[in-house]
């Protein structure tokens, strides 16, 4: 006769607080939103390098990497964009629980998408960063020519041309990248992150 075995769901013996205490910083999500070409990924990777040099546990998620793997089955319809943002937020939440600083660089054009991401991660662990740059300047920076292709109708649903972008009305932080040296914008983000994650 087989004996009944009661399985206990495994639980980590290492809490988020324990990880954060050991590494001396909090796990948090810094969600960089803005038009294509505004400088989101540039700022995220620049700040990542500075934080890593000071022994912070940090990771960058950006559109190209996510669209090439985790979300390669999604298109650019409003529904797919929403699902793209939902998946990113769920992954980032797991990293935060592991005490990691997550720099998420995504257009995330709708206020609804960013609000959903904040709710998933948790308001106490989420900061919205508006990377502010005019559409004209973003288009000037576009070395791949996506804006031009969108204006010729070769790309549909392109944010800033044939699809709208809702800039944050009350971002936690705004970084203006137009007419500002990249190094200065990166430093601004770096200091903002440190101020909100140090224990």
Q: Which residue numbers are catalytic?
A: 108
Rounded-to-integer distance, Cα 138 and Cα 134, Å: 6
Rounded-to-integer distance, Cα 103 and Cα 101, Å: 7
Rounded-to-integer distance, Cα 91 and Cα 120, Å: 10
Rounded-to-integer distance, Cα 65 and Cα 72, Å: 10
What are the distances in angstroms from CA 143 to CA 36, 137, 146? 11, 12, 8
Which residue bears the tokens 């500002």? 180
Burial class (CB in 10 A: 0-12, 13-18, 19+), 91: middle
Rounded-to-integer distance, Cα 34 and Cα 87, Å: 19
């Amino acid at each position: 006769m087989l004996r009944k075995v009661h399985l206990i769901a495994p639980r980590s013996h290492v809490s988020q607080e324990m990880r954060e205490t050991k590494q001396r910083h909090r796990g948090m999500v810094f969600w960089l939103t803005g038009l294509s070409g505004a400088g989101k990924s540039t700022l995220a990777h620049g700040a990542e390098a500075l934080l890593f040099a000071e022994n912070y546990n940090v990771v960058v998620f950006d559109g190209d990497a996510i669209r090439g793997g985790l979300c390669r089955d999604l298109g650019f319809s409003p529904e797919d964009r929403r699902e793209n943002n939902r998946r990113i937020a769920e992954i980032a939440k797991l990293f935060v629980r592991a005490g990691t600083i997550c720099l998420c660089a995504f257009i995330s054009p709708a206020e609804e998408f960013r609000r959903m991401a904040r709710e998933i991660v948790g308001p106490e662990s989420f900061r919205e960063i508006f990377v502010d740059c005019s559409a004209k300047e973003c288009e000037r920076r576009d070395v791949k020519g996506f804006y031009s292709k969108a204006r010729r109708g070769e790309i549909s649903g392109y944010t800033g041309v044939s699809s709208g972008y809702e800039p944050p009305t009350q971002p936690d932080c705004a970084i203006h990248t137009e007419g500002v040296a990249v190094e200065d914008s990166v430093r601004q983000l770096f200091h903002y992150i440190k101020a909100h994650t140090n224990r």
